[in-house]
Copies of this chain bind each other. A is one copy, B any other.
Amino acid sequence: MRTLTKDTANKVGEEVTLMGWVHNRRDHGKLIFIDLRDRWGIVQVVFNPKNQKLLEQANQLRSEWVVQISGLVKERPAGMQNPELPTGKIELEVTLLTVLSRADDLPIPIMEEGTNEAELQKRLDWRWIDLRNPKRTLIFKVWTTMEQAFREYWTGNGYIEIHSPKLMSTPSESGAELFEVQYFDRKAFLAQSPQFYKQMAMAAGFEKVFEVGPVFRAEPSFTARHATEFTGYDVEISFIESHQDVIIEEEKTLIYVLQKIKDEFGDKVHEVFGKELEIPATPFPQVTMKEAKEILKKKGITGERSGDLSPEEERSLSEYIKEKEGHEFVFVTEYPVRVRPFYHMRLESNPELTKSFDLLWNGVEITTGAQREHRYEKLISQAEEKGLHIEPIQFYLNFFKYGCPPHGGFGHGPARMLMKILNLGNIREVTYLYRGVNRLEP
């Protein structure tokens, strides 16, 4: 029966069996110590100098070997205690040692940070060793809690889960940045988002759906926030009056999720990543794209593209809102038609603008959302206006021909959100195995 390292501290006087990695070995002549690491912590293991056979075994141990160690949990001698570690007052005196797996010399040091380009690439090459650093394991513990919290909100509020296909016969979005698949004797494409299929669920009367799954973008992009494959969270809800209903629902969701993460990991995240997680006040600040551009103009910042925000503009806008309203989040609304896809609904008051929004968190876009156009004739004319061929998207347009409620939703990037939660600057750090133009391995 295995005991976890975290459970040893209150087992003084008991015989236990620990399993884990040799974190390091300290050879003090006749006395040998090792630190044994498992996912839950570290325990100091001491070899009794009187037991020659065990000492010989201990002498062979090297870093990162995997071992099973039985022994007696004892209090450390008074001067040897480390009150800062949860297991700093105890040690394990070995009675039996079994090597479960040996290790070659490590190609990378697991406890170092290395974030320059060469170091990062090397860490990604050896990702399974890189992830042994408890700081990095923590990232994925937080991810697990984050995703489950989103799902608790959704399942607790009447959403139905869908798993839409990633293999499509036609592009789901623009047609650009598509991966092509050889599908038996024809071509298929990898879905760039579940957009069409979550809208199909609205036509099917599911009313509220969510999806968690991979999205694929053949973008030749090398930034710190793009990947060719990443996990997307998608939401779509029916019977809304405008995109403001979607915004309110997203705010509620995010508050629920951030509170859960703060409750479970707030202290740990602060200790390890130096980030104090604050629960934002609702409603989040909003600016229209027009207002955003005016704010930026006053600050002397002009982006390349009118009607859309460059990364620099996103950062400046967030800084402005942070300063002015003390809020880390800002919804940017009313994007012009020309920078949004054909299916975004337009404002009644100004058909040049869409009922759409992006959500920025401290300068990074983490969500794109909108009310969708659900009226068949309007969709056709909006698609034609964008110069799209109708035939390849006819299957999608059909969703709106047999009764489809007004609806809207958003696509959310959990990796980008986690970057903000943990104050990390690169999406590669929060992705289990990053995929980019030059990276398909390991």
- Could you list which residues of chain A lie within 8 angstroms of chain B, going by C-beta atoms? 2, 19-22, 37-39, 64-66, 68, 100-104, 106-107, 127-132, 137, 140-141, 143-145, 147-148, 151, 155, 159-169, 179-184, 186, 188, 190, 197, 200-201, 203-207, 212-214, 216, 218, 220, 228-229, 231, 239, 374-375, 395-396, 398-406, 432-433, 435, 437, 440-442
Contacts and interface: CB of A to CB of B under 8 A. Distances in A.
Nearest to A129: B402
Given A169-B440, A220-B184, A228-B167, A101 B179 contact: no
Nearest to A131: B204
Contacts of A186: 440
A403 B148 contact: no
A141 to B, nearest CB: 6
| Interface of A: prevailing SS | mixed
Nearest to A191: B214
Q: Which 7 A-B pairs have the closest CB atoms?
A: A103-B403, A131-B204, A64-B403, A169-B440, A144-B161, A128-B204, A128-B203
A160 B184 CA distance: 36
A269 to B, nearest CB: 16
A151 B147 CA distance: 10
B403 A21 contact: yes
Contacts of A104: 401-402
B66 A137 contact: no
Contact of A184 (B403, B406, B437): B437
A165 B201 CA distance: 26
